[in-house]
Structure 1
């Protein structure tokens, strides 16, 4: 199927590449079908809406940038996404890309969790956590 995208122009995707978000994403309840698209020569992934060309979220796999990042999924999310093992799970966080780029932030309070086997996803809002919606992706350098 052909899909118009925010960052990749018009592309062909296969039905099995689509990740379904049964409840949409917070603030985008009607957006239920997305395709993750690598952004060439970067560590970033675009979570592109299949139905709305202008809607694409910039994501990263958080553990490379935030090595101590960890959280537990509640049982309802595990059941909803039909997660059977950790191998089923891919975790991303949404970036707020800034200008200048070194001020870009990551939303660690609301990771995007995808069951790669079932092709279902959910943005999980973490509660009772120190994580915030704006963690600097590139911490300030220490002056020497």
Structure 2
């Protein structure tokens, strides 16, 4: 199927690539179908694009590339909702807020986007110990990669 992606224009996606967010995303409860669109194979970034509303797309980052000690637990309830059976089923992203320059941009470590890549189920989870990670972590720190 073809869709217009907010940041990438017209793209072709397979129906099998669609990830279902049963409860939508915070602020967008009615949007439940998204696809991950890579920006560049050498960058830890992608677009989480709604297939239901073309103007809704989020730049997401692989958080471990920017904070290598990022660690959190997924609740049993969330594991059940996402049908997670083993750790290898899971991929984690953080939503980015883009600023004028990339080093000034931030990622949301407080509410990671957790995806069961095998079952194509996703959920943005607000971490319960909200003091551990900030909502706006400056990626200029770049702990996980060379500056």
TM-score normalized by structure 2? 0.91
Map 1:1-144 → 2, pairs under 5 A? 1-40=1-40, 42-129=43-130, 130-139=132-141
Deviation at 1:54, TM superposition (A): 1.1
Residues 2-45 of structure 1 show CA distances to partners (whole Å, capped at 9, x for unaligned) of: 11111221121111000000000010101100000000253210
Deviation at 1:116, TM superposition (A): 0.4
Distance in 2 (alpha carbons) for counterparts of 1:138 and 1:101:
7
Aligned length: 140
Q: Quick check: which has more Rg, 1 or 2?
A: 1
Distance in 2 (alpha carbons) for counterparts of 1:99 and 1:31:
28
Given that 2:44 and 2:65 are in contact with CA atoms closer than 8 Å, whether structure 1 keeps it comes out as: no
- Match of 1:87, SS state, is helix
Deviation at 1:77, TM superposition (A): 0.2
- Match of 1:76, SS state, is helix
Distance in 2 (alpha carbons) for counterparts of 1:64 and 1:4:
28
Residues 55-108 of structure 1 show CA distances to partners (whole Å, capped at 9, x for unaligned) of: 110111111210110000000000000000001000000000111322100100
Distance in 2 (alpha carbons) for counterparts of 1:77 and 1:38:
25
Aligned-pair RMSD on alpha carbons?
A: 1.3
- Match of 2:78, SS state, is helix
Residues 116-135 of structure 1 show CA distances to partners (whole Å, capped at 9, x for unaligned) of: 00000000000123211101
Distance in 2 (alpha carbons) for counterparts of 1:84 and 1:66:
26
Given that 2:102 and 2:139 are in contact with CA atoms closer than 8 Å, whether structure 1 keeps it comes out as: no
- Match of 2:7, SS state, is coil
Which stretch shifts more, 83-92 or 53-62? 53-62
